Amino acid sequence: MTGDAAIEAIDVARTYALDGVGVPALRGVTLTVAHGEYTAVVGPSGSGKSTLMHLLGGLDQPTSGRLRIGGRDVAGLTPAEMAHLRNATIGFVFQSFHLLSRTSALDNVALPLVYRGLSARERRERAARMLERVGLSHRIGHRPNQLSGGEQQRVAIARALVTEPAVLLADEPTGNLDQATGLAVLELLEQLNTAEGVAVMLVTHDREVAARARRQITMRDGRIVSDTGSVSTGSAGDGDAEVRA
Amino acid sequence: MRLAEAWRVALDALRANRLRSGLTMLGMVIGVGAVVILVALGTGTKNEVQAQVEGLGSNLLLVVPGQVSLNAAPAVSRLDQSDLDAVIRIAGDRDRVAVSLTSGENVRAGKEQVFTSLLGVLETTPKVFLRDVRAGAYLTRTDVETGRRVAVLGSSVARTLFGERDPIGQQVTIAGVRFRVIGVFAPLGQSLGVDRDNEVHVPLTTAQRLLATKRVDAFAVKAPDAETIDRLGRDIVAELHRRHPDEEFSAVTQEQILGVLGDILGVLTAVLAAIAGISLLVGGVGVSNIMLVSVRERTREIGLRMALGARPRDIGLQFLLEAVLLTTIGGLLGIAFGVGASLATAALSPVPAALTWWSIALAFGVSCAVGIVFGVVPAQRAGRLDPVVALRSE
């Protein structure tokens, strides 16, 4: 990895082709995600938040601009190389949890390790440890439908962190939870951010949720309109990522 | 992803949809079962026919008017006693020549009656063909030369007319003429649904008088050894053709008969195999269809797995293995079903069925191949999904 940046985006744009017409979703975003950061991305629907998350998470490739994930330029990477990069660097948490319904909490958490080629025993050991970290040791054998929403999201967080990624990307992680449960999940994320040193970036509509983050990025019309700044400096050289509030 | 892991995931996916997996497999079960059964029936029939033709005796030459081929009708014979003498002269020994004049006749004894093949023959028949007399004796040369009204019954004729009673010395009436039973053949059994024991042998001369004819229908000549058989056949055909210039004659060996029968059975087996092949094809299309449905249903799962680090080939492999698992489990069940049905057929019915290892191996191989061929397209489709689109799908 180069320097302190877990993810580095320089003038990144993404345009979707709809019926032959190019629809810009992201119009040139420069952004650095430093290790150990805690960032919230806010903005109205259609502002490009999700597109940004997909790009930063290595699920998609930018139409133009430079994007480095875990120190690696994604330009020209094959889908298989992108998959490897995601597995090594990124953990995902989704609004709707995205757990495999017929699979136990333990095996759900162990799933990303399957694609690392680890032995079943090692996968289970690491998954069990991670479930313990999120406070679900007593739910190891439960299936998602036997768990509450908050528990399901905690399983998903354990799954995102079992690979020890540099960055955890959370798309509306509290969107499907009631306020108290949502708060508990946020506290867990904050605690893991501090304890494990994993950079957390979450997308949210909720101003209160965003307000808990040390760094807040506001998006509109495919652009960053405000960024309260990062602790560390990125190599982008843009003024908007220099100062921490 | 490790292969063992991929197998486990594929098996889990099949278990999640038991009914659907079962119904999809059923197509393969039927297709593979049909292949195994039909090959067993074809092989069994071929073995049986071969055993029967070989069981006639060795180094046999059958001489008939007309041509022997799949698409030629049997010709009407113009051969007679003088031709027989000529053939005996060429063969060099009366004991090497058998002859037949065949007619369908009613045979009656008391109140019992049976329709049977009446064969006018020489006393040499058991010396040319392998034919055992179970009780009494066969015809003698004197019987033939003096035209005696004596008969040797096939075992099923004897059973129908006399039941458990001893037929030797009893009277039977053939076409209104009384004959004395002097012998009964050992049973031969059935062949291709025909009762080979439903025949009666009488002296050729007696049969000719009974049927008011001078003709004979066919000769059988036993060659001294396998080397001379072809030359003997050519000599006999040439002599007969000299005697009847405007007629054709054929001399066929057992090998040639087996060849013709093999052709018939080959065509039959090919047609049946094609039908079985069609059902395998239909089964394969069903697998393809279900796999496409499965990919569509699990698009979100595919998106998730990709987000967590599954490569396109990991996803493709998962679905390909699922298809292969469907067809091979179906194939194994089909083999079990086919083997069971073949064994039951062979044990419980007169229809012959012989299992062959190669047909079972072939059926298994084809099952795997069908899974791969019909699983590739759905697997590729799954592997090529865009993770962003897949994650969003409902």
Name the minimum distance, in Å, from the CA of B282 to any CA of chain A. Answer: 31
Which residue in the set B304, B314, B388 is minimally distant from A98, CB to CB?
Answer: B304
Distance CA A107, CA B69 (A): 69
B295 class by beta-carbon count within 10 Å (0-12 exposed, 13-18 middle, 19+ buried)? buried
B19 CB within 8 Å of a chain A CB: no
**pLDDT score, position B192:** 62
What pLDDT, in 10s, does the model give residues B200-228?
A: 999 999 999 999 888 888 888 888 887 88
Q: Which residue of B has its CA nearest to A60?
A: B388
Q: Do A79 and B307 touch (CB under 8 A)?
A: no
Average per-residue pLDDT for chain B: 87
Using a CB-CB cut-off of 8 Å, the residues of chain A touching B310 are 83, 115
- Based on DSSP, count helices (H) and strands (E) in chain A, helices before strands: 7, 10
Q: Nearest Cα to B385, choosing from B303, B320, B292, B264?
A: B303
B55 pLDDT tier (thresholds 50, 70, 90) = confident
Whether A100 contacts chain B with CB within 8 A: yes
Q: Chunk chain A into consecutive blocks of 10 residues (it has 245) and report each block's average pLDDT, rounded to whole numbers.
A: 77 90 92 94 91 95 95 94 96 94 94 92 95 93 94 95 95 91 93 93 90 93 88 43 40
Give all strands (DSSP E) within chain B, no chain letters. 60-65, 79-80, 97-109, 112-121, 133-136, 150-153, 171-174, 177-185, 190-191, 194-195, 199-203, 215-216, 218-222, 249-253
What is the spatial distance between Cα A70 and Cα A67, in angstroms, rounded to a whole number?
10
Distances (CA, A) of B272 to A83, B35, B263: 49, 8, 14
* Inter-chain residue contact A117 with B301, CB threshold 8 Å: no
**Closest approach of B388 to chain A, Cα-based (Å):** 6
Which of A114, A159, A203 is the best mutation test for B, with the most CBs of B within 10 A?
A114
Do A98 and B306 lie within an 8 Å CB cutoff?
Answer: no
Write down the ipTM of this complex.
Answer: 0.91
pLDDT tens digits, one per residue of B362-392: 888 989 999 999 999 999 999 999 999 999 8
Q: How many residues does chain B have?
A: 394
d(C-alpha A234, C-alpha A231), whole Å: 9
pTM of the model: 0.75
Closest-CA residue of B relative to A54 is: B388
- Taking the CA of residue B1 and the nearest CA in chain A, the distance in Å comes to 5
CB B342 within 8 A of CB B47: no
Beta bridge partners of residue B79, listed in sequence order: B216
Tokens matching residue A74: 């994604």
Of A154-158, B115-119, B265-269, minimum mean pLDDT range: B265-269
Q: CB-based contact (8 Å) between A121 and chain B?
A: no
In this complex, do A94 and B391 lie within 8 Å of one another by their Cβ atoms? yes
The reply to whether A159 touches chain B by the CB within 8 Å rule is: yes
Q: In B, which residues are within 8 Å of A86 by CB distance? A: 307-309
CA nearest B383 in A: which residue? A79
- Report the alpha-carbon distance of residue B288 to residue B290 in Å, rounded: 6
